[in-house]
Structure 1
Amino acid sequence: MNFQKIGVLLFFAISLNCVGQESKYEKSYSGEDEVMVRIAELEIDPNSIDEYLTILKEEAEASLRLEPGVICIYPMFQKENPAQIRLLEIYANKSAYESHLKTPHFKKYKTTTAEMVKDLKLIDMEAIDAESMSMIFKKL
C-alpha cells in the first residue's frame, strides 16, 4: 500500500476516533492533562500552493521532531482541489499546544504563509474511543 493511501486511511481512522463523546483521555480542553485534538481546514491561494506546501511540510516536520507535546501534525489536501488543505493536529495537552504556538518554526510558518491563506477554520474535536488511538499509530 503506498504512502498516500496509508495517509488517507489514517486520516479517516483518526477522524472517526476524534469526534463525539467524553472518554477517559479526553473530556474538554479545560484540563491541562487532556489530549487536544483539532482539525484545521485551510483554503490556499491557488497561485501559492507549491510554496505553501513546502513551508507547511517544513513546519510539520520541525514540530514533530522538536516538540515532545506534539503527537501528530498530519497535513493533507483534497485530491480534486489541492488548494483545500486539512491538518489533523494532536497535542499531549493544551499546554503543549500553547507552547507550539510560541516556537520559532511555527511563527515562521504563520508569517511566511499569511498572504497565502485565504480561509482558516480550527475545529476542536473529542475522541469517541481515545483508547484505540494508540493502536492506529502502532499499525503504521
Structure 2
Amino acid sequence: MNAMQLCVYGASLLATALGGAAVAQEAIGQYVQVAEIEVDPAQLDAYRVAVQEQIDAAIQKEPGVLVLYAVSEKDAPNRVKVFEIYRDRGAYEAHLGSEHFKKYKSTVEKMVKSLKLVQAMPIALGARTK
C-alpha cells in the first residue's frame, strides 16, 4: 500500500468513525500527514508495543488528535505508515510536546532507521454510517 492508498483508506476510516458528510465540512483547517517509518526488523515487536501505547494515550488524552492509524506493509512489515489527522496545526504541535509522545520518541529512537513526514490534504471523505 503506497502513501496515497493509505491516505484514502485512512480518510475512509475517519469518515466512518465520525459520520459521513459532516466530515468533509470539518476537514477544512485540519492538519493531516502520513509518517513513513522504517523500523529495524529485529525490534519490530517492541516498536509495535511502543506505537500502540503512544496512540492509545494520544487518543485518550488529546482532544485535538482526531485519528492515528498505524499500519505496516504486508510484504515488508518493518515499513510502517502512520496516518494522522489533527484538529488543526496547533493540536499537532501540542501533540509533539506531550509527555506520551516524548516517551514514544525516546523509546523508539534506536528502533527507527528512517522517518519521512508527508503532509497531506483530504480530497473527499465518505462512509457508510451504519
Provide the TM-score with structure 2 as the length reference: 0.79
Distance 1:41 1:47, change over 3 A: same
Match of 1:82 among 74, 77, 98: 77
Q: How does 1:1-140 map to 2 (within 5 A)?
A: 12-14=8-10, 25-26=27-28, 34-129=29-124, 132=125, 135-136=126-127, 138=129
Q: Deviations over 1:43-102 (max 9, x none)?
A: 000110000000000000110111000000000101111100000000000000000011
Distance 1:118 1:67, change over 3 A: same
Distance 1:137 1:100, change over 3 A: farther
- Report SS of the residue matched to 1:74: strand
Q: Could you tell me how far 1:138 is from its partner in structure 2?
A: 4.3
Runs of at least 5 residues in structure 1 that lack an aligned partner in the other structure: 1-8, 17-22, 27-33
- Report SS of the residue matched to 2:97: coil
Q: Deviations over 1:89-137 (max 9, x none)?
A: 00000000000011110000000100110000000001112xx3xx448
Distance 1:55 1:14, change over 3 A: closer
Q: What is the root-mean-square deviation of aligned Cα atoms in Å? A: 2.5
AA partner of residue 57 (structure 1):
Q
Decide whether the 8 Å contact of 1:10 with 1:136 is kept in 2: no
Decide whether the 8 Å contact of 1:14 with 1:136 is kept in 2: no
Task: State how far apart, in whole Å, the 2-side matches of 1:110 and 1:85 are.
Answer: 15
How many pairs were matched up?
115
AA partner of residue 90 (structure 1):
I
Q: Could you tell me how far 1:14 is from its partner in structure 2?
A: 3.5
Q: Could you tell me how far 1:10 is from its partner in structure 2?
A: 8.0
Decide whether the 8 Å contact of 2:35 with 2:115 is kept in 1: yes
Decide whether the 8 Å contact of 1:13 with 1:136 is kept in 2: no
